[in-house]
Amino acid sequence: MSTPLLEAIDLQVHFPVGGGGLGRSGKVVRAVDGVSFRVERGKTLGLVGESGSGKSTIGLSILGLERPTGGRVLLDGAELDFSRAGLRELRTKATMVFQDPNASLNPRRSVGASVREPLEIHGLHRGREARKARVGELLDLVGLSTRFEDRYPHELSGGQRQRVGIARALACEPELIILDEPVSALDVSVQSQIMNLLKRLQAELGLTYLFIAHDLAVVEYMSHEVLVMYVGKIMERASRDSLYRSPRHPYTKALLSAIPSAEPGGQERERMLIEGEIPSPISPPSGCRFRTRCPWAVAECAEVDPPLAAMDTSDAVACIRADEIAAGAPPNEAPTPPPIPSSEARDELS
């Protein structure tokens, strides 16, 4: 097996909180709590989960923007070096595209200056002419012409700004791009332009993507393999097709079932509405973190922290009842929605 471009082994990112800082309260946010995965060259690993699942923190920690507090990250087989020089080198190999292109572009810099900046920082394409040519090439690559070079972010649409963000990320010819919700702030008609652009760039330049998003349909469209995260841990890892066709973890099932069907009548499919909310990563439930909302939870789930199968099998699920559920074990009593009083009762209300 060839070396994966990116490999995380038992990655942990914990933050101390409260008590006047420096973790005196002893409380710790376990944003990422022992996560292992690999991304093969030229492929896209989708990272999906709701807010607080730790998916963005994983992206940040791979670039050294958050320091891992445990575990290892290997890029191209070499452990990440968080020294000054190491980070500098890292950021020519791995770059990031953020959700909100408004917040990630400097409003006082023209498009040309923004795209040129990484070249200047890393001393690439030295010389005025060479840099200008490279900036033109990058703008062309993302579907913007050199006409845009002198414009400022406020003169651009959201989609155009995101294209500038992508051009910046491509400037140093990275191998890995971390895409953190790159289309979720965009209108539907613009989302598809950006997704198709990202796919084309991957095919042309052989890029490897870590694609972080909360939208399962978007992740399905973009990814080869998918990790489902919940409160800092991986619940399920599977190839795209097997995850979407036969989700095995109850949380994956719940997520897929929560998506509004794209068509009327689609709701006739099996619907599973989970109750409650995501627990705090400061004090996650004992055992399996999803057990407090899981329709299949049993007493044992509170005691056993279910492991994810070894790295070498392609699909893995962190659930002690996965086999039973796959074999058709019924969920516990279906959650009953809170009763809504009759209209007579309502008259009494008012």
Partner 1 sequence: MSALFELADFRVRIGSRQGVAEIVNGVDWGVDRGETLAIVGESGSGKSMSVLSATGLVPSPPARFEGQARFDGQDLLTLDEKSRRSIRGRHIGFVFQEPMTSLNPLLTIGRQMTEAPRQHLDMPAEEAARKAVELLSLVGIPEPAQRMRAYPHQLSGGMRQRVMIAMALMCDPEVLIADEPTTALDVTTQAQILDLVKRLQERFGMAVVWITHDLGVVADFAHRVAVMYAGRIVEEASTKDLFASPSHPYTRGLLTARPRLGEPDVELATIPGVPPDPRRLPAGCSFWPRCPYRGDARCETEMPPLREVAPGHLTRTFYELEPDRGDAA
Q: Does residue 213 bind partner 1 (CB under 8 A)?
A: no
54-62, 161-169, 186-194, 319-327 -> range binding partner 1 (CB under 8 A): 186-194
60-68, 112-120, 183-191, 307-315 -> range binding partner 1 (CB under 8 A): 183-191
Q: Does residue 157 bind partner 1 (CB under 8 A)?
A: yes
- How many residues at the interface with partner 1, by CB under 8 A? 53
Q: Does residue 121 bind partner 1 (CB under 8 A)?
A: no
Q: Does residue 196 bind partner 1 (CB under 8 A)?
A: yes
Q: Does residue 216 bind partner 1 (CB under 8 A)?
A: yes
Containing 220, the helix (H) or strand (E) segment is helix 216-222
Distances (CA, A) of 335 to 257, 271, 273: 14, 11, 8
User: 52: left (phi > 0), else alpha (psi -120 to 50), else beta?
Assistant: left
Q: Does residue 98 bind partner 1 (CB under 8 A)?
A: no
Q: Does residue 217 bind partner 1 (CB under 8 A)?
A: yes
Helix (H, G, I), strand (E, B) or coil at 340: coil
Q: Does residue 140 bind partner 1 (CB under 8 A)?
A: no
The residue (of 107 and 339) whose beta carbon lies closer to partner 1 is: 339
- CB of residue 266 to partner 1, shortest distance in Å: 6
Rg over CA atoms, the chain: 23
Residues 6 or more apart in contact with residue 255 via CB below 8 angstroms: 48, 50, 216, 228
Token pair 């973790």 is found at 23
- CB of residue 338 to partner 1, shortest distance in Å: 5
- CB of residue 154 to partner 1, shortest distance in Å: 13
What are the φ and ψ backbone dihedral angles of 280, each rounded to 5 degrees? Answer: -75, 135
Residue 115 contacts residue 167 (beta carbons within 8 Å): yes
Q: Distance between CA atoms of 17 and 29, rounded to whole angstroms?
A: 7
Residue 310 contacts residue 260 (beta carbons within 8 Å): no
Here's the x/- map for partner 1, 251-290, by CB under 8 A: it reads as ---xxxxxxxxxxxxxx-----xxx-xx------------
The residue (of 273 and 304) whose beta carbon lies closer to partner 1 is: 273
Distances (CA, A) of 203 to 44, 106, 207: 11, 29, 7
- CB of residue 217 to partner 1, shortest distance in Å: 4
Q: For strand 70-75 and strand 78-79, is the pairing parallel, antiparallel, or unpaired?
A: antiparallel
The residue (of 188 and 327) whose beta carbon lies closer to partner 1 is: 188
Among 191, 208, 252, 292, binds partner 1 (CB under 8 A): 191
Residues that bind partner 1 in the complex, under the rule CB under 8 A: 50-51, 157-160, 187-193, 195-196, 214-218, 220-221, 240, 244-245, 254-267, 273-275, 277-278, 337-338, 340-343, 346, 349-350
